[in-house]
Amino acid sequence: MKIHHIGYAVKDIEKAKTIFEKLGFMSESKRGGGYITFDPVRQINICFLHRDGYRIELVSPAPSSAGTDAVSRIIKKIGNSPYHICYEINDFDNTLEELTQSGFTMFLPPMEAPALGDRRVAFCMNPSIGIVEFLEE
C-alpha cells in the first residue's frame, strides 16, 4: 500500500493552485492539456500538484453543484483544509473487502475517477482517523 496523495478541500481551486505553486509545488498536467479536471459525477474540480515526492490533490466544488456536493459540506465544516490521505492498493477488490471487514466503513463505493485516468477509487470512514481514500493501482 503506497501513499498516492493528500487531498485538500478548497473553495477556489485556481487560487489554491497559485499558492501551492508559490510554495514550490508543480502542477501535473492531465491528458489533453490543462491542469484542472471536472468530475461530472461528483460535481467537483480536481488538480494534482507535486513536490519532493509528495502529491497534493486540490478538490473544489464545481459551480454547477450549487453546494450539494460532498466537498462543499466539508468546507462548510472545517474550511480550506486537508481532509484525506489516498492509498494506492493492488488487488483492489479483495483488499477493499478485507479493509471493510476490519474497521473501515465504505461510504462511497468504487467508481472511476476521471482525474486519475479512470482508475477506480473508493472512500471509507474509520472511527479513529476519519476519511480514507483507496485507489486501484
3-state DSSP assignment of residue 28: coil
Q: What own/partner pairs with CB < 8 Å and gap ≥ 24 does 39-48 have? A: 39/113, 39/114, 39/115, 40/114, 41/111, 42/69, 42/70, 43/68, 43/69, 44/69, 44/70, 44/71, 45/13, 46/13, 46/115, 47/13, 47/16, 47/17, 48/5, 48/115
Binding flag, residue 136, Ni ion (CB under 5 A): no
Binding flag, residue 115, Ni ion (CB under 5 A): no
Q: Which is nearer to Ni ion, 39 or 133 (CB)?
A: 133
Binding string, 1-40, against Ni ion, x = CB under 5 A?
Answer: ------x---------------------------------
Binding string, 53-72, against Ni ion, x = CB under 5 A?
Answer: ----x---------------
Q: Give residue 54's region: left, alpha or beta (phi > 0; psi -120 to 50).
A: beta
Binding flag, residue 133, Ni ion (CB under 5 A): yes
* Residue of this chain nearest to Ni ion (CB atom): 7
Q: Which is nearer to Ni ion, 39 or 57 (CB)?
A: 57
Binding flag, residue 86, Ni ion (CB under 5 A): yes
Q: Which is nearer to Ni ion, 75 or 86 (CB)?
A: 86
Q: In the structure grid, which three cell numbers stand for residue 53, read together?
A: 515526492
Q: Which is nearer to Ni ion, 85 or 102 (CB)?
A: 85
For residue 128, give the DSSP letter: T
Q: Given the rule CB under 5 A, which residues bind Ni ion?
A: 7, 57, 86, 133
